[in-house]
Amino acid sequence: MEMFAALIMFAGVCLVLLLGYPVAFSLAGSALFFAGIGTWLEIFDPVFLEAVPNRLYGIMTNETLIAVPLFIFMGVMLERSRVAEDLLDTMAELFGSMRGGLGISVTLVGMLMAASTGIVGATVVTMGLLSLPTMMRRGYDPSVATGVICASGTLGQIIPPSIVLVLLGDVISSSYQQAQLDMGIYSPRTVSVGDLFVGALFPGLLLVGLYILYLVMIAAIRPEAVPAIPESELNREGLGTRVLQALMPPLVLIVAVLGSILMGVATPTEAASVGAVGAMLLAAAQKRLTIARLREVVQNTTRVTSMVFMILVGASIFSLVFRGFEGDELVRVLLGDLPGGVFGAVLAVMALMFVLGFFIDFIEITFVVVPIVGPILLAMGLDPVWLGIMIAINLQTSFLTPPFGFSLFYLRGVAPPEITTAQMYRGIIPFIAIQLLALVALSVWPEMATWLPMQVYGE
């Protein structure tokens, strides 16, 4: 009976979320409501709720999560500092003379912004505002243009420093320790956010390379869809200097943040503080740091951080009640009985997350679904870094998939009315296929995610 109550509670939360209620309060409120009903029916032990204060205290004292507001601050500061605008202008001059050059420029800028900010929504909106009008004016096919912008804007999901990887790394670490304790290993190994950052580098660069390869193929097959900018309209004078000036700020920041992690000089949390200070210094060096702008950045950072942590609190209460209803045991039985063994279990979980990604944000999936299925999958012997990167790419794919892909919503909000939603859907389909191809490649060659962390950390 308790197990069925867990399923009903999960379905109830999904229904409440679809009705549009705030995520954090939906999770906590639904969990407490079902806990009350369960206590009344004597199928839930209210002793589980006594662990809530300890869980909340654990969230407040979790040093890893300090990286979240710092990376958000860094991303918002760079967004307000017009780094993306300078990059797009110079990259368009550099690649514009070749067919598909504007699309390649957008992809490369998306990669650099992902490695500098890690915030998907801001990147998609910024790229849409800056590059979409230019691409339309140059005669780009609307489907190709919107597809490139959506896909490159979501690279912040997988390329570190990514907010997704910070949150996912903390959850995967807890799940890995729980899995080992369940197996009777009382001196458990750990996995860190830094492991996921390093493990995500190759898969992230693979996606960038596949995006560019697709644009090159489009240029060869349908040159009219991605025309070049006439040489007479390009300003080549001092181009090398301008490219260097535009590239240096994000590259310096990337080296400072990721380099310090890769060399073992700093933890991700410490590197995030370096990134936050570095973003302020870059804005000040470009004379774009004012008191008003700093106030705006701090307010936006506080707003986003509050949302993330409120969802984390709600999800923590939800997962506690879910376990009180023996939901984790139900999931273990269901996954264990699937045909195909470990492969079947991973495939089922990935399919579930892919579908959930249509309706709810990656934060809810990370905090609600991963703590439930993570310990079970990791107890089957899966590598935690590989599983974390697989989940991140999967969530990135669902972020793009029509009709509910969040990136499509972001771009729809800033795209001109003459670009139809159907054109945006057609444009994103090839990039979804590329994402799925990368997911298959990572499942076949897990070393793409695990080799570099082993070399860096020697584990």
Write down the pLDDT at residue 458. 64
Q: How far apart are CA 168 and CA 339, in angstroms?
A: 27
Terminal Cα-to-Cα distance of the chain (whole angstroms):
43
Q: Residue 203: what pLDDT?
A: 92
Contacts of 367 (CB under 8 A, 6+ apart): 167, 171, 311, 312, 315, 316, 319
Instruction: Look at residue 424 in the predicted model and tell me its pLDDT.
Output: 87
Question: How open is the CA angle 129-130-132, to the nearest 5 degrees?
Answer: 75
Three-class SS of residue 237? Answer: coil
Identify the pLDDT of residue 116. 67
- Residue owning tokens 């470990």: 342
Residue 3: per-residue pLDDT: 63
| Token pair belonging to 343 | 């492969």
Residue recorded with tokens 């579908």? 355
The predicted structure's pLDDT at residue 208: 92
Residue 147 token pair: 């597809």
Q: For residue 381, give its domain range.
A: 2-13+20-457
Exposed, middle or buried by CB within 10 Å (0-12, 13-18, 19+), for 422?
Answer: exposed
- Count: domains in the chain: 1
Closest by alpha carbon to 142, among 104, 110, 103, 113? 103
Per-block mean pLDDT, blocks of 10 residues, the chain (459 long): 74 77 81 88 82 82 81 79 74 76 85 69 74 82 89 83 82 85 74 85 92 92 84 68 77 80 78 85 82 88 83 83 78 75 86 77 78 86 90 85 73 81 88 92 91 77
pLDDT of res. 57: 83
